[in-house]
């Protein structure tokens, strides 16, 4: 078993101490591991399990229940288009298809350069401001097909800057 | 967080002063009288606070509409069950069509926190857990900032701890016992009741689970007095409600209304009505799990009794307007897919039934369904309703069954014409749902 | 105890009284009415109401069918099952229709077919046809979740019994549900096997053919088999079992619930440990040593002549295994003591009757409020079911204290009893029901723990012996005959009873001092070159007789299949005749009880309590004290069962964190363990709870080593 890097284990420990029962910390712990590694690899699940004294199987049982945990690698950026009814009624599918054509990948896939993962998600809770797109977990409201280009450019720019650093 | 424009409304209670002030700031909230209700509540005995809330006739804003004061009264006193008492706030707003808690947390976080602290006092809890849905990054950040502002205000915090726990994308965790399971670090699957959370909730201890809006309504009740609050709204639905308006309307957004306001007025006067040139075909009145109303059924008061009278419910106050271009079979598919995706998988009828519903609806839309399969759809719904462990499956089947019942001709037309009369002209045509995209790869599945 | 409060309720127009708190499923059963269930299984903890098979109409209650399994009987309750309620009938029919939507209905090739609750309930409560018109869910199948268990996800109805067992009974956390909703599947982590001592119970818990035994796969149809009730003879618990046989061969072992003893749980050694009966090196005929490494088969007449000749060659020493039946031990006692006039015997372990004064059913552990486990060996390795009772006690709120080299109170080897006296006396005295459990080594056959129980006022005490029937064998030896022969100063012939004794290094070294060696064993390969005569032994599954378990419960062992060689009692009787001793060649049936009762407590007059001598403390930095334990998954049977190989511990040595650190050893490193010129290479494990100065290893990996060892990276 890989030894947990001190800082993640310590981070998890700090959160676990806030709950009456350490097991409650598994969701924040999985989130922290995912933020650190980008996704929850088998090794990441082992690491979380070790920190909380839970089996990796248990960690996977939890991680696979919730949509936001990633059990496969994803791109550096996440674009998630809400396609539930309120967004769909006002054109979410067109927004999604524009993302698909401009990114060159289908929903559920990652761009060839590994920069962006595109996906559909269930209701994000912004129905009156449809279409809602979560870009790296921050909401963009009233997204139209014509706003897609700008969002992608923004991501590519940020990505470019990150690479240049 | 960017939200819609300031709200038009007929009465602001929960969102009072939020258009004029930045109530995310402690100073501004205090300037409009913030945290004074808390001081008033703490001067009272816990039971007196409960009586005040009972007098307000406040009913829970999460969807079940259970009397809040009565719920608090069910919690055994600490000397009856000598375990910690917990207050758990359900901020896992995930019902399609509802986004009110998003707005409340984002704009009046301190009023919400004040409500939590008053409630903690009433039910004698020292530990509050706020379960915020995982996707709500914005509201989470606002709430955490508000709590940080209270760090050096011990006279407000008292000896109560408030821990914000983030969900991770599972609609079912909006169901209170599933939420408790999730908070305990388990898969968010509902528990059987009894035992009820009031007696055996979080960590098998007495627990009150309340919705965000309910919490944010408590301070105004304490401020104005329960009886005064009860004068707002209508009988059995006192006070105000923040309603979410979306879909085919000109001005989508949240509006705080006095309960009992007509649904037509909410849609036309607040929401600006259906965009020009189209006709209102149907309205989902309380989030996607509620029975649908036809476009001509909206001359009804938006309150518990009136909507129950029409066979539907206020639910979580998500009003979704649907215009005449929309195919109701396609709506059925999209709603059914959602519940199929969100079914926790614990009980049989929900897990298997929602999947079956989707399959039949897809055949109808594709023109491959026979007459008997249309009947089968209703039979499957009927066999789900009332058989499930929690409301998810029941309400999913009720909602879809209502589309068939209220728009039977349209479903019949799919059979008779061997296909969809709307086709691509319906805005819901071809919408890709996460369940179809396969958000979770079924492990080691082989394509059929 | 006062009489339980009764409540009166009506089920399908039958009025009945049951104790308050009785579950509706059991209440109905008491009235002879079936409420069908899949997920409901009280042994797994509180009901979950998942499968919805038990939906009934219940008043008072909401106007929809209720999950009867989640309700308890109450006064005035009116319950209508499918027999009398259309609402319930329709609901149960619906549940089965939903379950069958994705079930493959491959019953003709399913091992569960014919004994399948899904088949039975569909027959009684289900729809007669299907209305489903879309493709069923398909999965790769079967998936081996371990070498012993195959998973067919298509058949799985997601009742979650198996995962509840893993999480809530065995507490191993290895078998889980993955994904959500209709995508949910039962899984282990990655490709890792379900490697835990009780894994096989999920096969029996599964109400469909989703979890099946790889040993039993395609081996038999239910109408071709015979199920023979018996008890397990592989450890001192004596779990009640049923052996399924077909055409004279054991095909599988199932648990047979004895609520006081095993609660229907069976460890994998007991469950899968039978295919060694058919191992290629099984001794079927008597064998005589021929040259250095070979044996030749003998006729039984020649074998008895040869045995007589060897037994007459000099004073006889008998080495017992502790797995013999009472009757076998008595027969051997009479042969050796009465017929051969020798009192020389090597017992498998120490025995003491003192423990009888604190006798209790194992289920008393669950009902205790304080459980103290004393000793240096893990409970699961000695008496696995006891480990489950301890976990059940903890779940019920009991405090569990372990005192030993890696206990919650960690002490030096051999000092546990003293530590209990000095550190736990008040807590034991203050507890309502304190249970003490001795988990080896030493303990003077239970005398030490009985002494502690008496001194500190514990309500019950258990001693976990090392062998399945050790104490009874010792007592049978003494009771076998009233003769009191001399113990000879030296011996000429060593008579070894059983494979365990034959594989014991101590017995092996005795053999080097003997002129002649006779062994009664199932397997001959390890005997090549040092045993003169091998007489075929039998397995516990092939014997009639009596076994006395660690509680003191006398249980009946039944012959489930005919052994490939004559029964030991039969030929021992013949052999004994030659020495003028008459022995009954048949075991008398000691108990006709389906589930043996526990005898009353016995206060033995002479129950001296003397503390065990404290062990020598080890100097820091000096050599490490090697503690050996016998793993559950070891021994002549396990070694020959293919499906159990993955359960055997890897060759490893466990060190304390400090001892590992000062030697520069990390967990997983290969290390050299030395003593007196011999060395073995083992993988290093680190146990944070282990006391410094002690190391632990499975006996089979450190046979060559002595008591003090040094461990280094090279």
Q: What is the mean pLDDT of residues C656-670?
A: 95
Q: What is the mean pLDDT of residues B174-198?
A: 97
A84 touches chain B (CB under 8 A): yes
**C positions 646-675 inside 8 Å of A (CB):** 667-668
**A positions 37-66 inside 8 Å of C (CB):** 42, 45, 54-58, 60-61, 64-66
C168 touches chain B (CB under 8 A): no
Number of H helices, E strands in chain C: 19, 33
Q: What is the mean pLDDT of residues B195-224?
A: 97
Q: What is the mean pLDDT of residues C621-647?
A: 92
Can you spell out the DSSP letters for B246-284?
EES-SS-EEEEEETT-BHHHIIIIIS--SPTT--EEEEE
pLDDT band at residue C3 under the 50/70/90 scheme: confident
User: C-alpha distances in angstroms, A28 versus A21, A31, B185, B203?
Assistant: 13, 5, 10, 18
- List CB contacts (< 8 A) between A57 and chain C: 173-176, 187-189, 192
- List CB contacts (< 8 A) between C187 and chain A: 57, 60
B445–C52 C-beta distance less than 8 A: no
Q: How far is C180 from chain A (nearest CA, A)?
A: 5
Q: How far is A49 from chain C (nearest CA, A)?
A: 11
The tens digit of pLDDT for each residue in A122-149 reads 999 999 999 999 999 999 999 999 999 9
Mutation to test the B interface, candidates A89, A118, A121, A147, most B Cβ within 10 Å: A89
pLDDT band at residue C129 under the 50/70/90 scheme: confident
A64–C180 C-beta distance less than 8 A: yes
User: C-alpha distances in angstroms, A75 versus A111, A117, A148, C608?
Assistant: 7, 5, 18, 73
Q: How far is A25 from chain B (nearest CA, A)?
A: 6
Residue C697 DSSP symbol: E
Q: What share of chain B in percent tops pLDDT 70?
A: 95
Phi, psi of B321 (to 5 degrees): -95, 140
- Chain B adjacent subunits, 3+ CB pairs under 8 A: A, C
Q: What share of chain C in percent tops pLDDT 70?
A: 96
C67 touches chain B (CB under 8 A): yes
- List CB contacts (< 8 A) between B99 and chain A: 125-129
The tens digit of pLDDT for each residue in B364-378 reads 999 999 999 999 999
Provide ipTM, 2 decimals: 0.94
Both tokens assigned to C657:
């964190």
- List CB contacts (< 8 A) between A134 and chain B: 135
Which residue has better confidence, C620 or C527? C527
Tell me what pLDDT residue A159 has: 57
| pLDDT(A163) > 60 | no
User: Rounded to the nearest 10 degrees, what angle do helices B212-224 and B100-107 cross at?
Assistant: 60
- Chain A adjacent subunits, 3+ CB pairs under 8 A: B, C
The tens digit of pLDDT for each residue in C550-570 reads 999 999 999 999 999 999 999
Kindly tell me the sign of the dihedral angle through the C-alpha atoms of A60, A64, A68, A73.
positive
Q: How far is A72 from chain B (nearest CA, A)?
A: 10
CA distance C324 to C545: 9
A135 touches chain B (CB under 8 A): no
A141 touches chain B (CB under 8 A): yes
Tell me what pLDDT residue C707 has: 87
Q: How far is A41 from chain C (nearest CA, A)?
A: 11
Both tokens assigned to C422:
């000095």
Tell me what pLDDT residue A2 has: 54
**B positions 291-350 inside 8 Å of C (CB):** 340-349
Tell me what pLDDT residue C619 has: 41
C187 touches chain B (CB under 8 A): yes
Tell me what pLDDT residue C484 has: 74
The tens digit of pLDDT for each residue in C435-466 reads 999 998 888 999 999 999 999 999 999 999 99
C52–B387 C-beta distance less than 8 A: yes
Q: Where are the beta strands (DSSP E) in B92-230?
A: 127-132, 161-166, 207-211
Tell me what pLDDT residue C590 has: 60
- List CB contacts (< 8 A) between B379 and chain C: 131
Tell me what pLDDT residue C704 has: 86
C52–B348 C-beta distance less than 8 A: yes
Q: What mean pLDDT, rounded, does chain C reach? A: 93
Tell me what pLDDT residue C594 has: 76
Which residue is closest to C192 within chain A, CA to CA?
Answer: A57
Which of C102, C140, C158 has the CB atom closest to B446's CB atom? C140
Which residue is closest to A142 within chain B, CA to CA?
Answer: B4
Which residue is closest to C92 within chain B, CA to CA?
Answer: B387
Q: What mean pLDDT, rounded, does chain A reach? A: 93
pLDDT band at residue C589 under the 50/70/90 scheme: low
- Chain C adjacent subunits, 3+ CB pairs under 8 A: A, B
| pLDDT(C358) > 90 | yes
CA distance C612 to C447: 9
The tens digit of pLDDT for each residue in C5-23 reads 999 999 999 999 999 999 9
Kindly tell me the sign of the dihedral angle through the C-alpha atoms of B65, B66, B67, B71.
negative
Residues 6+ apart with CB under 8 A from B254: A128, B4, B7, B15, B99, B100, B103, B242, B243, B244, B245
C189–A60 C-beta distance less than 8 A: yes
User: C-alpha distances in angstroms, B165 versus A45, B371, B402, C515, C560?
Assistant: 20, 49, 36, 76, 58
B345–C184 C-beta distance less than 8 A: yes
C131 touches chain A (CB under 8 A): no
CA triple C226-C232-C238, angle to 5 deg: 135
Residue C659 DSSP symbol: H
Q: What is the mean pLDDT of residues A96-113?
A: 96
C139 touches chain B (CB under 8 A): yes
- Residue where the block lists tokens 């896992």: B92
C178 touches chain A (CB under 8 A): yes
| pLDDT(B167) > 70 | yes
Residue C338 DSSP symbol: I
The tens digit of pLDDT for each residue in B57-88 reads 999 999 999 999 999 999 999 899 989 999 99
Tell me what pLDDT residue B11 has: 82
- In this structure, are residues C438 and C403 in contact, taking their beta carbons and an 8 Å threshold? no
| pLDDT(C614) > 50 | no
Tell me what pLDDT residue C487 has: 77
Which residue is closest to B382 within chain C, CA to CA?
Answer: C94
Which of A61, A65, A96 has the CB atom closest to B170's CB atom? A65
pLDDT band at residue C607 under the 50/70/90 scheme: very low
C182–B351 C-beta distance less than 8 A: yes
Q: What share of chain C in percent tops pLDDT 90?
A: 87
| pLDDT(C489) > 90 | no
pLDDT band at residue C103 under the 50/70/90 scheme: very high
Tell me what pLDDT residue C385 has: 98
Q: Where are the alpha helices (DSSP H) in chain A?
A: 6-16, 26-37, 42-52, 56-63, 85-89, 92-103, 148-164
Picking from C54, C47, C59, the residue whose alpha carbon sits closest to that of residue C9 is C59
Taking the mean position of all CA atoms in its chain, how far away is CA C102?
36
Residue C483 DSSP symbol: -
CA distance B65 to A79: 36
Tell me what pLDDT residue B4 has: 43
Q: How far is B35 from chain A (nearest CA, A)?
A: 26
Q: What is the mean pLDDT of residues C595-602?
A: 87
Which residue is closest to C160 within chain B, CA to CA?
Answer: B346
B389–C52 C-beta distance less than 8 A: yes
- In this structure, are residues A139 and B140 in contact, taking their beta carbons and an 8 Å threshold? no
CA triple C153-C159-C162, angle to 5 deg: 75
Tell me what pLDDT residue A49 has: 97
Q: What is the mean pLDDT of residues A10-29?
A: 97
C172–A55 C-beta distance less than 8 A: yes
**A positions 19-58 inside 8 Å of B (CB):** 19-28, 30-31
The tens digit of pLDDT for each residue in B219-256 reads 999 999 999 999 999 999 999 999 999 999 999 999 99
**C462 forms bridges with which residues in the sheet?**
C437
Q: How far is B322 from chain C (nearest CA, A)?
A: 29
CA distance C597 to C258: 10
CA distance A66 to A27: 9
| pLDDT(B440) > 70 | no
Tell me what pLDDT residue C606 has: 53
A139 touches chain C (CB under 8 A): no
Tell me what pLDDT residue B438 has: 54
| pLDDT(C592) > 70 | no
Q: How far is C173 from chain A (nearest CA, A)?
A: 6
- List CB contacts (< 8 A) between A30 and chain B: 168
Tell me what pLDDT residue B431 has: 95
B3–A127 C-beta distance less than 8 A: no
Tell me what pLDDT residue C267 has: 98
Q: How far is A64 from chain C (nearest CA, A)?
A: 5
Tell me what pLDDT residue C611 has: 41
Which of C97, C182, C187 has the CB atom closest to B343's CB atom? C182
Residues belonging to chain B: 448
Q: What is the mean pLDDT of residues A30-54?
A: 97
The tens digit of pLDDT for each residue in C49-71 reads 999 999 999 999 999 999 999 99
- Cis upstream peptide for A157 (omega within 30°): no
The tens digit of pLDDT for each residue in C172-219 reads 999 999 999 999 999 999 989 999 999 999 999 999 999 999 999 999
Q: Where are the alpha helices (DSSP H) in B123-175?
A: 137-149, 154-157
pLDDT band at residue B10 under the 50/70/90 scheme: low
| pLDDT(B443) > 50 | no
C174 touches chain A (CB under 8 A): yes
Q: What share of chain B in percent tops pLDDT 90?
A: 93
Residue C651 class from Cβ within 10 Å (0-12 exposed, 13-18 middle, 19+ buried)? middle
CA distance C308 to C340: 10
3-state DSSP assignment of residue C225:
coil
| pLDDT(B267) > 50 | yes
Tell me what pLDDT residue B445 has: 35
């Amino acid at each position: 078993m890989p030894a947990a890097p001190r800082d993640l284990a310590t981070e998890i420990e700090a959160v676990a101490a806030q709950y009456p029962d350490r097991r409650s910390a598994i969701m924040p712990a999985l989130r922290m591991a995912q933020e650190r590694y980008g996704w929850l690899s088998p090794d990441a699940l082992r690491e979380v399990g070790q920190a909380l004294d839970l089996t990796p199987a248990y960690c996977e049982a939890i991680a696979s229940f919730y949509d936001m945990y990633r059990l496969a690698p994803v791109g550096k950026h996440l674009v998630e288009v809400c396609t539930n009814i309120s967004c769909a009624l006002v054109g979410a599918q067109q927004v999604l298809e524009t993302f698909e054509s401009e990114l060159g990948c289908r929903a559920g896939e990652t761009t060839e350069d590994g920069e962006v993962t595109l996906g559909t998600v269930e209701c994000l809770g912004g129905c009156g401001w449809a279409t809602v797109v979560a870009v790296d977990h921050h909401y963009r409201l009233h997204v139209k097909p014509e706003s897609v280009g700008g969002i992608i450019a923004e991501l590519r720019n940020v990505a470019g800057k990150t690479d240049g650093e | 967080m960017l939200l819609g424009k300031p709200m038009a409304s007929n009465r602001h209670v929960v969102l009072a002063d939020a258009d004029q002030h930045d109530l995310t700031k402690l100073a501004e909230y205090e300037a409009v009288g913030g945290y004074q209700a808390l001081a008033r509540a703490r001067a009272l005995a816990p039971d007196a606070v409960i009586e005040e809330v009972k007098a307000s006739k406040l009913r829970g804003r999460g969807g079940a509409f259970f009397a809040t004061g009565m719920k608090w009264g069910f919690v055994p006193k600490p000397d009856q069950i000598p375990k910690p008492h917990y207050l758990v706030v359900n901020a896992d707003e995930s019902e399609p069509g509802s986004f009110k808690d998003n707005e409340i947390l984002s704009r009046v976080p301190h009023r919400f926190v004040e409500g939590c602290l008053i409630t903690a006092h009433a039910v004698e809890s020292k530990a509050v857990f706020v379960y915020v849905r995982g996707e709500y990054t914005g509201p989470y950040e606002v709430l955490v900032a508000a709590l940080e502002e209270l760090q050096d205000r011990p006279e407000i915090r008292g000896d109560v701890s408030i821990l914000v726990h983030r969900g991770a994308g599972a609609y079912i965790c909006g169901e209170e016992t599933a939420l408790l399971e999730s908070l305990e670090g388990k898969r968010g699957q509902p528990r059987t009741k009894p035992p009820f959370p009031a007696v055996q909730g979080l960590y098998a201890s007495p627990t009150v689970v309340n919705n965000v809006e309910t919490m944010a309504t408590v301070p105004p009740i304490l401020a104005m007095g329960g009886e005064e609050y009860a004068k707002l709204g209508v009988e059995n639905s006192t006070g105000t409600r923040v309603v979410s308006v979306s879909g085919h309307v000109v001005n989508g957004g949240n509006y705080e209304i006095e309960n009992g306001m007509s649904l037509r007025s909410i849609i036309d006067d607040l929401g600006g009505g259906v965009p020009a040139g189209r006709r209102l075909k149907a309205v989902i009145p309380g989030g996607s799990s509620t029975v649908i109303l036809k476009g001509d059924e909206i001359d009804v008061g938006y309150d518990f009794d009136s909507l129950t009278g029409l066979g539907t419910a206020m639910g979580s106050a998500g009003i979704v307007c649907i215009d005449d271009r929309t195919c109701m079979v396609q709506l059925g598919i999209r709603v059914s897919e959602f519940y199929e995706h969100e079914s926790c998988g614990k009980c049989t009828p929900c897990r298997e039934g929602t999947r079956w519903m989707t399959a039949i609806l897809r055949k109808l839309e594709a023109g491959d369904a026979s007459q008997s399969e249309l009947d089968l759809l209703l039979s499957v719904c009927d066999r789900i309703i009332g058989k499930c462990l929690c409301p998810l499956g029941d309400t999913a089947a009720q909602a879809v069954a209502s589309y068939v019942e209220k728009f039977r001709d349209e479903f019949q037309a799919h059979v008779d014409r061997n296909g969809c009369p709307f086709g691509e002209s319906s805005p819901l045509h071809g919408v890709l749902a996460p369940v179809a995209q396969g958000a979770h790869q079924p492990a080691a599945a082989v394509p059929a | 105890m006062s009489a339980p409060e009764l409540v009166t309720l009506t089920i399908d127009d039958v009025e009945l009284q049951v104790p308050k708190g009785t579950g509706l499923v059991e209440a109905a059963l008491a009235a002879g009415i079936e409420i069908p269930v899949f997920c409901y299984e009280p042994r797994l903890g509180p009901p979950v109401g998942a499968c919805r098979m038990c939906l009934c109409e219940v008043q008072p209650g909401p106007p929809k069918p209720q999950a009867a399994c989640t309700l308890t009987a109450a006064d005035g309750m009116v319950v209508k099952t499918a027999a009398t309620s259309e609402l319930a009938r329709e609901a149960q029919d619906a549940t089965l229709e939903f379950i069958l939507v994705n079930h493959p209905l491959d019953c003709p090739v399913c091992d569960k077919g014919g004994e399948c609750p899904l088949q039975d309930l569909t027959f009684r409560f289900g729809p007669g046809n299907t209305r489903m018109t879309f493709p069923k869910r398909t999965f790769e199948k079967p998936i081996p979740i371990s070498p012993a268990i195959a998973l067919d996800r298509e058949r799985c109805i997601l009742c979650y019994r198996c995962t509840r067992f893993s999480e809530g009974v065995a507490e191993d956390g290895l078998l889980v549900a993955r994904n959500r909703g209709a995508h949910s599947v039962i899984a282990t982590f990655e490709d890792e096997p379900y490697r835990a001592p009780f894994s096989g119970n999920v096969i029996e818990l599964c109400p469909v053919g989703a979890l099946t035994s790889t040993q039993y796969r395609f081996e038999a149809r239910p109408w071709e088999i015979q199920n023979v009730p018996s008890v397990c003879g592989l450890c001192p618990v004596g779990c009640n079992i049923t052996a399924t046989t077909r055409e004279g061969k054991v095909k599988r072992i199932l648990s047979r619930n004895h609520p006081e003893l095993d609660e229907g749980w069976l460890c994998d050694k007991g469950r899968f440990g039978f295919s060694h009966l058919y191992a290629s090196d099984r001794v079927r005929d008597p064998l005589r040593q021929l040259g250095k490494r070979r044996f030749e088969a003998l006729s039984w007449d020649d074998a008895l002549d040869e045995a007589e000749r060897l037994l007459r060659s000099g004073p006889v020493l008998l080495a017992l295994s502790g797995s013999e039946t009472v009757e076998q031990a008595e027969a051997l006692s009479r042969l050796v003591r009465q017929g051969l006039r020798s009192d020389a015997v090597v017992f498998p372990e120490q025995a003491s009757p003192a423990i009888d004064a604190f006798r209790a059913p194992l289920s008393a552990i669950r009902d205790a409020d304080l459980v103290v486990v004393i000793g240096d060996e893990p409970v699961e390795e000695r008496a696995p079911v006891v480990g489950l009772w301890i976990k059940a006690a903890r779940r019920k709120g009991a405090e569990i204290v372990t005192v030993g080299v890696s206990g919650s109170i960690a002490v030096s080897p051999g000092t546990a009893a003293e530590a209990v006296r000095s550190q736990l006396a008040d807590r034991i005295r203050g507890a309502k029901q304190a249970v003490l459990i001795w988990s080896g080594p030493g303990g003077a056959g239970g005398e030490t723990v009985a002494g502690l129980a008496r001194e500190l006022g514990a309500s019950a005490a258990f001693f976990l012996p090392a062998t399945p029937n050790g104490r009874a064998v010792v007592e049978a030896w003494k009771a076998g005959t009233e003769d009191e022969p001399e113990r000879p100063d030296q011996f000429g012939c060593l008579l070894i009873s059983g494979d365990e004794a034959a594989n014991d290094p101590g017995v092996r070294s005795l053999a080097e001092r003997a002129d002649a060696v006779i062994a009664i064993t199932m397997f001959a390969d390890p005997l090549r070159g040092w045993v003169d005569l091998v007489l075929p032994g039998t397995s516990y599954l092939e014997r009639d007789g009596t076994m006395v378990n660690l509680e003191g419960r006398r249980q009946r062992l039944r012959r489930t299949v005919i052994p490939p060689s004559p029964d030991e009692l039969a030929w021992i009787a013949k052999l004994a005749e030659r020495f003028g001793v008459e022995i009954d060649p048949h075991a008398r049936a000691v108990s006709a009880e389906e589930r043996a009762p526990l005898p009353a407590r016995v206060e033995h007059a002479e129950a001296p309590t003397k503390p065990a001598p404290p062990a020598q403390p080890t100097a820091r930095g000096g050599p490490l004290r090697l503690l050996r334990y016998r793993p559950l998954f070891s021994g002549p049977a396990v070694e020959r069962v293919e499906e159990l190989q993955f359960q055997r511990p890897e060759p490893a040595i466990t060190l304390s964190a400090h001892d590992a650190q000062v030697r520069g050893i990390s967990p997983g490193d290969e290390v050299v363990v030395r003593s007196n010129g011999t060395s073995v290479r083992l993988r290093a494990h680190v146990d944070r709870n282990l006391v410094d100065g002690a190391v632990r290893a499975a006996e089979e990996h450190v046979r060559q080593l002595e008591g003090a060892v040094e461990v280094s990276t090279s």
